[in-house]
């Protein structure tokens, strides 16, 4: 892996760890106010998916042995745009943003920012990232496998989240 690849993968992993800290803080805040967690049984599969994702990309790059892989600026632009959208989602939801399904009963759904246009923008962003990050590194097998796995998990996650939100919030999602 080239230097820019190590720097970028390190940045992404650090970003995800910071997001987990934010999510943990938000989880505590919500649960202290009566927040209810749902979908615990499938959450671990998202953790496995994301850990395997980073491992897969790095292993695939090392196996491919492309020591002078050049940065594709179009993919990098898409990656930066996805990060800005990711931050927009986190900022918009504020204390309600989480990696888990945690609902606070009798609280209205947030329908501003990206949530004004799309119900689950963060899931779209993650799907884009699971494709674009491996493409940046030339890890084409990972670029195909992980978005597909993500979509399969979302077939469980989204209905579970919709059901939890419909039961707990003031308005239907």
Query: What is the CB neighbour count within 10 angstroms for residue 117?
Result: 9
The answer to whether residue 58 sits within a structural domain is yes
Any idea what the CATH number is for the domain that residue 91 is in? 1.20.120.1630
By the 10 Å C-beta count (0-12 exposed, 13-18 middle, 19+ buried), 169 is classed as middle
* Domain count along the chain: 1
What's the average model confidence in pLDDT over 11-23?
96
**Each residue's pLDDT tens digit, 30-61:** 999 999 999 999 999 999 999 999 999 999 99
Domain membership of residue 91 as a residue range? 3-168
Helix (H, G, I), strand (E, B) or coil at 37: strand
Query: What is the CB neighbour count within 10 angstroms for residue 62?
Result: 11
The answer to whether residue 147 sits within a structural domain is yes
Alpha helices in the chain (DSSP H): 3-32, 40-64, 73-93, 121-137, 140-168
CB 2 within 8 A of CB 68: yes
Q: pTM of the prediction?
A: 0.91
The answer to whether residue 124 sits within a structural domain is yes
The answer to whether residue 141 sits within a structural domain is yes
The answer to whether residue 173 sits within a structural domain is no
pLDDT classification of 67: cutoffs 50, 70, 90: low
**Which of 61-70, 122-131, 132-141 has the lowest average pLDDT?**
61-70
């Amino acid at each position: 892996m080239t230097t820019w690849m190590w720097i970028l993968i390190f940045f992404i992993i650090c970003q995800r760890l910071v997001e987990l800290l934010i999510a943990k803080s938000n989880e505590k805040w919500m649960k202290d106010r009566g927040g209810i967690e749902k979908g615990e049984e499938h959450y671990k599969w998202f953790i496995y998916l994301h850990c395997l994702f980073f491992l897969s990309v790095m292993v695939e790059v090392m196996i491919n042995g492309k020591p002078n892989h050049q940065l594709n600026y179009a993919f990098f632009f898409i990656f930066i745009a996805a990060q800005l959208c990711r931050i927009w989602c986190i900022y918009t939801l504020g204390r309600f943003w989480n990696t888990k399904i945690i609902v606070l009963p009798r609280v209205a759904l947030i329908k501003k920012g990206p949530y004004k246009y799309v119900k689950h923008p963060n899931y779209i962003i993650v799907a884009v990232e699971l494709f674009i990050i491996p493409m940046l590194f030339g890890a084409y097998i990972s670029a195909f496998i992980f978005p597909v796995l993500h979509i399969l998990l979302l077939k469980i996650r989204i209905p579970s989240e919709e059901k939890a939100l419909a039961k707990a919030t003031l308005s239907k999602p």
